[in-house]
Amino acid sequence: MNLTPDRVADEHAWVRDRADVIVPIINDTRSRLETAFDTEVDAVSDDTYRQEVDRVFADGDVAVNMAAYCGLLRDLDVDGDYPGFVVDEVLGRQLAATIAGGQPLSVLAGATFHFADIHTHGDDGDAAGDDDLDAALAAGFQTRLPGWNWQEGESPFAVPTGGDN
């Protein structure tokens, strides 16, 4: 794989254009998590997804890694699929974490990837990594996008700084 600025731009366009596939996975994942955790989570629109894709790819250091993970997963296939199960899981988890950003969201996105992956299935003719790529994109973007009430407002664990020291 050769990553050039043009290849990264192509991957950006490909990820952005997948809104019709990824947004339903995001919203299905959020709905399932709502039920599992007895909470409410806002749905994501295609436009919101595309705007966030643009934000992620605007950081060149992140964009080149995104392009590499996406390209590897899209091209990954293993005879019989099961022997390659670990590598597509590792790549998917890392892609989701990369999208989500730093700690603690990257850990949450990795865990959410596994949750989304068990509910995401490609077509029979797809390469082994295709459904993992879709699940990773959905997990990463759903984690970083607003809509979770625990992310709204200031954390009760923040330690005030400044003042009389």
Q: What is the rounded CA–CA span in Å between residue 100 and residue 78?
A: 28
Q: Which residues of the chain have pLDDT under 70?
A: 80-85, 120-130, 163-165
At position 74, the amino acid (one-letter code) is R
Contact partners, residue 75, CB within 8 Å, separation at least 6? 1, 127, 129
Kindly report the number of other CB atoms within 10 A of residue 111's CB atom.
Answer: 15
Name which of 43, 17, 13 is nearest 31 in CA terms: 43
pTM: 0.87
pLDDT at 80: 66
Within 13 Å of residue 53, how many CA atoms lie on the same side as its CB? 25
